Amino acid sequence: MFGALAKRAWQLGLALCVLACSWGAACDREAGREQSTAPAEAKTPSDTATHANAKTPADATMPANATGPADATVPASTKSPADASARPSDPDDDLASTPVTTTRPAVRDWAMFRGDARNSGVTSESLPPPLRVRWRFSVRDNEPVTATAAIVDGVAYVGCQIGAFYALDLASGAPQWTFQTDDDAGIGSSASVSDGRVYFGDEFGVLHCLDAATGALRWRFQAGAEVISSPHVVGDAVIFGSYDGVVYAVDVETGKERWQFKTEAQIHSTTAVIESTVLAAGCDGAMHVVGLSDGVEQRSVRFGAQTAASVAVEGDRAYVGTLGNEVLCIDWRSAEIIWQYRDTDREFPFESSAALWKGLVILGGRDKVVRALDAGTGDVRWEFKSRGRVDSSPVVADDVVYVGSDDGRLYALDAEAGGRRWDFEAGGAISASPAIGDGMLVIGTQDGVIYCLEPGRKAD
């Protein structure tokens, strides 16, 4: 009963927080809830304690070729979630070094939200459409999956809003282990995987560190409020933000706090890390440039609008969409705004984080449109209109943009011109972002299904 009451209390607090961040019903009515009957088209304009929560799915329903659960090393007290099912289907003490090198993971991995510490949203993988379903997995109670998966060493790691965190075999969809948060604390934080550990936050403000092979809890850190921000592992520190308005750095081995930087409001988004600095934007209407080694603010840029999207950075330039209906390009070294984009005909917020590809800033909006803006000028290079709002953050693989929509479709768009090359009807709305690794794409839906797609046409 306590868990249910606590969850209801949290939900009320979150509702107030969301209202404070201006995610109101007006946006839902105008951008996300309306359904267009026109065909989608492209156009080109001129959180420390230890306890074992890990479970193995011995009695889960799996495909005949499933592997993993019986082979995984797990604590003796583990048990299995009978309601999880997998089935085949047709249809990153060296923190003080300067600068810190934040190299990409191996090409065939997608180890963190947006793929790298700069939040670029780009992979070197080639994943040409069309794609076909390799497997699909239904989470417990069909709760929404809004977090983005991490893909490392042939395993997809992802959590859901009922507090279940899964390690799924990438080849078969068979769950290797399941970890359940205390009081079913929901997971909206996308996981980061580094050196055999998995890190993610939950709705009660806990940052978890699990053993990637077994799901055993290594440590946990208690922040002051919900952690949706996805962690970055840099050197021997884990960097993340929280709804208590704090950016934290904690030790990767112990979970002890290294430093904290306090902003003036909630932090929903994921920080970016470049060289020896952390870039953080949130609901205080500013982007903060903070020292990676000490958490001391070096400079900030105030633009007045709250942000839920994560900052993406390339060189001296940082790009972020706001809930004030703008996309900004900021020189993070000089703390100057270089350009601002606003669609004066359709004023809607941007919660989608941008992908940075070959001089383009590609992101979705709550006006149902995916846009590519010129990184130098902010001019629109192309637009693609879906049938629902686009909070999903696009990922670019080779010359293809993959992005989900609230209309229940995953789209593959031409990165150069914005034309639709293929789409997949998932059914449930998609606000999670694609993860691409080892030649496959993994994405979750709001009706509790995780899909793994691979190149190839559906068999007859």
Q: Would you list the domain boundaries of the chain?
A: 2-455
Please give the Cα distance from 110 to 251 (Å, whole number). 22
| CA 255/CA 125 separation, integer angstroms | 33
Cα distance between residue 454 and residue 165, in whole Å: 23
Tokens representing residue 85 in the block: 């099912």
User: Nearest CA to 192 among 148, 227, 153?
Assistant: 148
Give the 3-state secondary structure of the chain: CHHHHHHHHHHHHHHHHHHHCCCCHHHHHHHHCCCCCCCCEEECCCCCCCCCCEECCCCCECCCCCCCCCCCCCCCCCCCCCCCEEECCCCCCHHHCCCCCCCCCCCCCECCCCCCCCCCCEECCCCCCCEEEEEEEECHHHCCCCCCCEEECCEEEEECCCCEEEEEECCCCCEEEEEECHHHCCCCCCCEEECCEEEEECCCCEEEEEECCCCCEEEEEECCCCCCCCCEEECCEEEEECCCCEEEEEECCCCCEEEEEECCCCCCCCCEEECCEEEEECCCCEEEEEECCCCCEEEEEECCCCCCCCCEEECCEEEEECCCCCEEEEECCCCEEEEEECCCCCCCCCCCCCEEECCEEEEECCCCEEEEEECCCCCEEEEEECCCCCCCCCEEECCEEEEECCCCEEEEEECCCCCEEEEEECCCCCCCCCEEECCEEEEECCCCEEEEEEECCCCC
Residue 240 confidence (pLDDT): 98
How crowded is residue 239: how many other Cβ atoms within 10 Å of its Cβ? 30
Q: What is the dihedral of CA 216, 221, 223, 228, to 10 degrees?
A: -40
CATH class of residue range 2-455: mainly beta
Predicted TM-score (pTM) of the model is 0.82
Residue whose structure tokens are 């068999």: 459
Q: Which residue bears the tokens 């055999």?
A: 196
- pLDDT (0 to 100) of residue 53: 56
Residue 254's pLDDT is 97
Q: pLDDT tens digits for the chain (460 residues)?
A: 434 444 444 444 444 444 444 443 333 333 333 333 333 444 444 433 334 455 544 333 333 333 333 333 233 223 333 333 444 444 333 443 333 334 444 448 999 999 999 999 999 999 999 999 999 999 999 999 999 999 999 999 999 999 999 999 999 999 999 999 999 999 999 999 999 999 999 999 999 999 999 999 999 999 999 999 999 999 999 999 999 999 999 999 999 999 999 999 999 999 999 999 999 999 999 999 999 999 999 999 999 999 999 999 999 999 999 999 999 999 999 999 999 999 999 899 999 999 999 999 999 999 999 999 999 999 999 999 999 999 999 999 999 999 999 999 999 999 999 999 999 999 999 999 999 999 999 999 999 999 999 999 875 3
